[in-house]
Amino acid sequence: MITKVTTHISPNEQLIFERSQSGRTGFSLPPLDVDETSLSDMIPREFQRDDDLAGMPEVTEVDVVRHFTRISTWNYSIDQGLYPLGSCTMKYNSRLNEKVARIANFANLHPLASEAESQGALQVIYELQQHLAEITGLPGISLQPAAGAHGEMTGIMIIRAFIDARDGKEASSKRRTMLIPDSAHGTNPASAHLSGFTVKTIRSTADGLTDLEHLRELCAHGDVAGLMLTNPNTLGLFEKNIQEICRIVHEAGGLVYMDGANMNALVGVARPGDMGVDVIHLNLHKTFSTPHGGGGPGSGPCCCTEELEPFLPLPRIVRIDGPGDDGNATYKLHYDNPKSIGRVKAFLGNYGMMLRALAYILTHGYDGLREATEAAVLNARYIAAGLLSDYEKPFDGPPMHEVVFTDKRQSRKGVHTLDIAKRLIDYGFHPMTIYFPLIVSGAMLIEPTESVGRQELDQFIDAMRSIAKEAVANPELVLNAPHSTRIGRLDEAAAARKPVLRWKPMEAAAGNVTS
Amino acid sequence: MRYIPNSPDERADMLHQIGVASTEKLFDSIPESLRLRNRLNVPAAMSELELLKWFERLGARNQAAQRTGFLGGGAYSHYTPTIVDHLISRSEFFTAYTPYQPEISQGTLQAIFEFQTLVCQLTGMDMANASMYDGSTAMAEAVLMAERVTRRSKIIVSSAVHPQYLEVAHTYVQHAGIHLQRAEFDPASGQTPESAFDAIDDQTAAIVVQSPNFFGCIEDVAALAEKAHSAGALLIVTVTEAMSFGLLKSPGACGADIVVAEGQSFGVPLSYGGPYVGLFATRDKYARQMPGRLVGEAYDKNGRRGFVLTLATREQHIRREKATSNICTNEGLIALVATIYLETMGRRGIQEVAQQCAQKAHYAAREIGKVAGYSLPYSGPFFNEFVVRAPAPASQLLDQLARGQGIDGGIALSRFDSNRTNDFLVCVTELNTREQIDALVRGLNH
């Protein structure tokens, strides 16, 4: 039975398991071309599957195409418009980069193919490393980490290994504190914990910057292994004392790790290596535009100083000058380094993301990379100026590529950040990052990126200002938003109390399906 | 720059409107001494045409991508239906973020819910997460989880687990107070016998095995589950060739507590090693120790069903250093690839592919076994990979085969263990025709 419950073009689409009909098939394969052996001659019966894959769907190709096309229309995406998630850098994902990643000679290359016959692939890795080294000012690069948090873990393990080697195990065991500002992303403390560190939190000042006095105080204990700092920080503010911060940490015997999530504010303008940072991770899926894919894949290169380079994961890619068989330089994988923290992932990393990121860099060139940074910062400033009259901006400092506002004025009428975010959906925009960073009550962190034009920024500002007026004139309208989507706000608390994490045939039989 | 909508004139106008005197002034909060004076030393912008030519030219230097292969060892060549790449290329999927706003992310959320269900069905487990980076990191996370569940610190790992997976596990546990101990596989059967784990005791958190293992042999998972459980430890099963789920008894049915797998076999291009997708499944009772994102069913006030990210109190953005993992971004789009692949192939397609892999691999093994001087050293049953012992160093032999006949005959095990000079690992899938298999056999006979 079809009940059209909303105006959405495809409101009803069941789970594929509920669509399944015994006997439908969606595949075609050539017939077996070798002499068939009885299964039990190959594999003992007790090792064979005995459930006939019960419950797995039986559908046709048409069913699958319609299924995913329909549910896809329930998603917002960058290609629809502004996706202003702060610290997520949702910029345009070029189709050209997608085409590059699908070139058969890369897409069909096995990771254990011989190095001599994978030279093009190795050269891509090498060249991307060179460019990232130039962009960050840090010469040692590993592209092995699969995402930002993975790159963080790699960077912090490098700090740990470096200090163990420098101080010896005994002295090093007394240096187990990792300093992390209270505004940091949650992956920072989680990654520090994985590397065996105890986290101490540094306060932010009223200006939203790292509290130097508190940093000095914490560094005086002699147990500091390092500092994890995001710059610009998650309030969108450049840590203008960054050189002093690095000096304080270095003098206390620690190293400085920079979370590169916000590199879109810096590419071509300033380099972490010049600031005194020892190690950083980048997010190719943010700054270098590889698609976020609804939650990944990412790629989180780890970039470090020459001093830390021996500790990077193995293998490393080395270039050997002079003509190889085909007149080019040759590239080799290098496995021998006893100081390395070890391997963090099978094979060489999320290679497909490396191809896309290299295509991004080469498409922009030196001018385009800087132009993107300038446009991204300008767009954020433009939004900051546009919202000032209606929303509380908790910090006066000029924002870089993202800006934080709060719901302070609206909450007096009972309208909170979550409601504003949901109402924004009705205006056709994806909401900003909400309730992060944690130190700002009712935070709304807005990052437009360079990929939006002025008209769209104006529409967004108008929408936000209109919501601010609604919050006063008609708070119910905002509190019950969104009104335009296929489904309303979902009861997340109930979902967590009694989690249903998979489809089961019994549920369908019990008629527990709402259409 | 064609990806930046605002023209230079518009940008100048915007600057004027917000009262900033120049573009340079946007960066006033960065100390002057830190601002780059020179342009970056990267190449000048390339046009679309130039860029494609440049990458095509580099691609041509990957000769290995152009030929018939029998390479496995953690990455497998399988047929992918055309619609998979078509559907994942929809903007709504590939240009979306993590589904933090469920009202406008139901496409992604429902797809993940289906992915979680499919992973449960294949592995025979109660619950699965929304994906890990790959099989190797999923296994490392499983080891960390076993320590949390049991509060014990010793882990015994079969030496027939993929060597790179072992390396990753060592990296992950090095500061976690976990001790990894090896259980040696039996050189006659190629399997890891239950007796190899005799060091198990009341401090042991888990036994880790791979099945089929790195050498292609199917482990007696049920016996190992019993061994683990008898000491109050968990059994972690790793699978690198996920297509084997189509034919082999599920680890869940054998008694496994955590099952991790590399999902690359399900429609994901080889792409020189990534991005792939880690599958992670466990029992309901361990839900709150699970790493990674989970999607669950939820209802709105009108009773309409939807899906949300749930049980987030395990995760880093809430729990920070006490989180079950530091993972944030996972492999969303690759999990979608696997979902579309599995639904298109369906119940019967997965069975058919698994059957063809096993049939063709056994045909190849029989034929290679007949070649003078070659033998199959292991007696244990296998799915679609097996070790061949050659009469001469395998790496040279494989090199000659590649250059002379254009066949990638397998992976020399000397790459992982310098003592194993003459052994190589052969993988056969539904893509390898009888003609190709016969050519490999002729090549070895040469």
Centroid of chain to Cα B390: 29
- Report the residue of chain B nearest A368, measured CA to CA: B1
Interface touch A24/B346, C-beta < 8 Å: yes
Angle, alpha carbons B134-B136-B142 (nearest 5°):
100
Rounded (10°) CA dihedral A111, A114, A120, A126: 70
With contact defined as beta carbons under 8 Å apart, do B242 and B262 qualify? yes
Strands B423-427 and B385-389: antiparallel
Interface touch B46/A65, C-beta < 8 Å: no
Per DSSP, the three-state class of A392 is strand
Contact list in B for residue A147 (CB cut-off 8 A) is 133, 327-330
| Closest partner CB to B105 (pick from A69, A76, A381) | A76
Question: Residue A425's closest CA among B412, B2, B103?
Answer: B103
My answer on whether B224 and B329 are in the same domain is: yes
CA distances from B103 to A79, B71, B109, B241, B303 (A): 18, 44, 10, 36, 14
Minimal C-alpha gap between B202 and chain A (Å): 24
CB-based burial label for A493 (10 Å; 0-12, 13-18, 19+): exposed
Interface touch A27/B27, C-beta < 8 Å: no
| CATH value at residue B405 | 3.90.1150.10
- Report the residue of chain B nearest A452, measured CA to CA: B5
Best residue in A53, A275, A361, A479 to probe B by mutation, most B CBs within 10 Å?
A53
Angle, alpha carbons B63-B64-B70 (nearest 5°):
155
Interface touch B45/A436, C-beta < 8 Å: no
Contact list in A for residue B130 (CB cut-off 8 A) is 295
- DSSP assignment of A259-304: EGGGGGGTTTTB-HHHHT--EEE--TTTTT----TTT------EEE
My answer on whether B315 and B399 are in the same domain is: no
Contact list in A for residue B171 (CB cut-off 8 A) is 157, 313, 341-344
With contact defined as beta carbons under 8 Å apart, do A208 and A396 qualify? no
Tokens 């005197």, located at residue: B21
d(CA B99, CA A324): 48
Contact list in B for residue A389 (CB cut-off 8 A) is none
Question: For residue B337, which phi and psi values (nearest 5 degrees)?
Answer: -55, -50
Q: Which helix (H) or strand (E) holds B116?
A: helix B106-123
ipTM confidence score: 0.98
pLDDT tens, position by position, A42-69: 999 999 999 999 999 999 999 999 999 9
B27 located within any domain: no
B52 located within any domain: no
d(CA A301, CA A282): 5
Tokens 């003459």, located at residue: B422
Contact list in B for residue A237 (CB cut-off 8 A) is 29
Minimal C-alpha gap between A166 and chain B (Å): 17
My answer on whether B295 and B415 are in the same domain is: no
- DSSP assignment of A414-452: T--HHHHHHHHHHTT----EES-STTSTTEEEE---TT-
Per DSSP, the three-state class of B258 is strand
- The dihedral built from the CA positions of residue B110, B116, B121 and B125, taken in this order, carries a sign that is negative
Interface touch A499/B330, C-beta < 8 Å: no
My answer on whether B316 and B362 are in the same domain is: no
Give B296's strand partners: B308
- Report the residue of chain A nearest B275, measured CA to CA: A350
d(CA A494, CA A434): 21
Strands A224-230 and A255-259: parallel
> Which domain, by its residues, includes B383?
65-78+347-445
Per DSSP, the three-state class of B330 is coil
Q: Which helix (H) or strand (E) holds B408?
A: strand B407-408
Give B387's strand partners: B425
My answer on whether B299 and B358 are in the same domain is: no
Residues 6 or more apart whose Cβ sits within 8 Å of residue B1: A364, A367, A368, A371, A372, B45
Alpha helices in B301-425 (DSSP H): 316-319, 332-370, 394-405
Interface touch A361/B42, C-beta < 8 Å: yes
Kindly report the number of other CB atoms within 10 A of residue A46's CB atom: 11
The predicted pLDDT at position A10 comes to 67
The predicted pLDDT at position A505 comes to 86
Q: Is the pTM of this model over 0.95?
A: yes
d(CA B45, CA A371): 12
| Closest partner CB to B75 (pick from A111, A454, A503) | A111
Instruction: Pick out chain A residues at pLDDT < 70.
Output: 1-11, 324-326, 506-515
Interface touch A514/B305, C-beta < 8 Å: yes
B59 located within any domain: no
Tell me which of B289, B309, B341 is where a domain ends: B341
Question: For residue A293, which phi and psi values (nearest 5 degrees)?
Answer: 60, 25
Contact list in B for residue A21 (CB cut-off 8 A) is none
| Closest partner CB to B134 (pick from A112, A146, A496) | A146
Minimal C-alpha gap between A296 and chain B (Å): 4
With contact defined as beta carbons under 8 Å apart, do B78 and B265 qualify? yes
Residue B238 DSSP symbol: E
Residues 6 or more apart whose Cβ sits within 8 Å of residue B42: A131, A134, A135, A361, A365, A366, A369
Contact list in B for residue A379 (CB cut-off 8 A) is 6
Question: Residue A158's closest CA among A178, A130, A135?
Answer: A178
Contact list in A for residue B317 (CB cut-off 8 A) is 185-187, 436
**HEC profile for A15-27?**
CHHHHCCCCCCCC
| Closest partner CB to B329 (pick from A71, A189, A285) | A285
Token readout for B174 is: 């090095």
Query: Where would I find the beta strands (DSSP E) of A85-223?
Result: 140-142, 177-181, 198-202
Structural domains of chain A, with CATH: 16-80 (no CATH), 373-494 (3.90.1150.10)
My answer on whether B380 and B365 are in the same domain is: yes
Angle, alpha carbons A94-A97-A101 (nearest 5°):
145
Contact list in A for residue B135 (CB cut-off 8 A) is 346
d(CA A259, CA A158): 14
Number of folded domains in chain B? 2
My answer on whether B394 and B436 are in the same domain is: yes
B394 located within any domain: yes
B48 located within any domain: no
Contact list in A for residue B77 (CB cut-off 8 A) is 108, 110
| Closest partner CB to A112 (pick from B95, B100, B411) | B411
Best residue in B2, B3, B280 to probe A by mutation, most A CBs within 10 Å?
B3
- DSSP assignment of A313-377: -SPEEEEE-S--TTSS-EEEEE---TTS---SSSTTS-HHHHHHHHHHHHHHHHHHHHHHHHHHH
Q: How far apart are the first and last CA of chain A?
A: 8
Interface touch A26/B44, C-beta < 8 Å: no
B56 located within any domain: no
Output the furthest CA–CA distance in chain B (Å, rounded). Answer: 84
Minimal C-alpha gap between A413 and chain B (Å): 23
The predicted pLDDT at position A503 comes to 97
My answer on whether B309 and B378 are in the same domain is: no
d(CA B172, CA A157): 9
The predicted pLDDT at position B125 comes to 98
- DSSP assignment of A157-174: HHHHHHHHHHHHHHHHTT
Minimal C-alpha gap between A330 and chain B (Å): 11
Best residue in A67, A103, A299, A502 to probe B by mutation, most B CBs within 10 Å?
A502
Tell me which of B306, B341, B376 is where a domain ends: B341
B22 located within any domain: no
Question: Does the N-terminal peptide bond of residue A31 adopt cis geometry, omega within 30 degrees of 0?
Answer: no
d(CA A38, CA B246): 16
The predicted pLDDT at position A1 comes to 41
Interface touch A292/B315, C-beta < 8 Å: no
Question: Residue A231's closest CA among A243, A249, A219, A220?
Answer: A243
My answer on whether B311 and B358 are in the same domain is: no
- DSSP assignment of B296-307: EEEEBTT--EEE
My answer on whether B325 and B364 are in the same domain is: no
Interface touch A29/B430, C-beta < 8 Å: yes
Tell me which of B317, B341, B365 is where a domain ends: B341
d(CA B314, CA B326): 10
Per DSSP, the three-state class of B427 is strand
| Closest partner CB to A64 (pick from B220, B344, B363) | B344
| CATH value at residue B321 | 3.40.640.10
Minimal C-alpha gap between A514 and chain B (Å): 6
Per DSSP, the three-state class of A219 is helix
Give B239's strand partners: B261
Q: Tell me the one-letter amino acid at A119.
A: Q
My answer on whether B306 and B372 are in the same domain is: no
Instruction: Pick out chain B residues at pLDDT < 50.
Output: none
My answer on whether B121 and B265 are in the same domain is: yes
Query: What is the helix, strand, coil percentage profile of chain B, to 5?
Result: 45, 15, 40
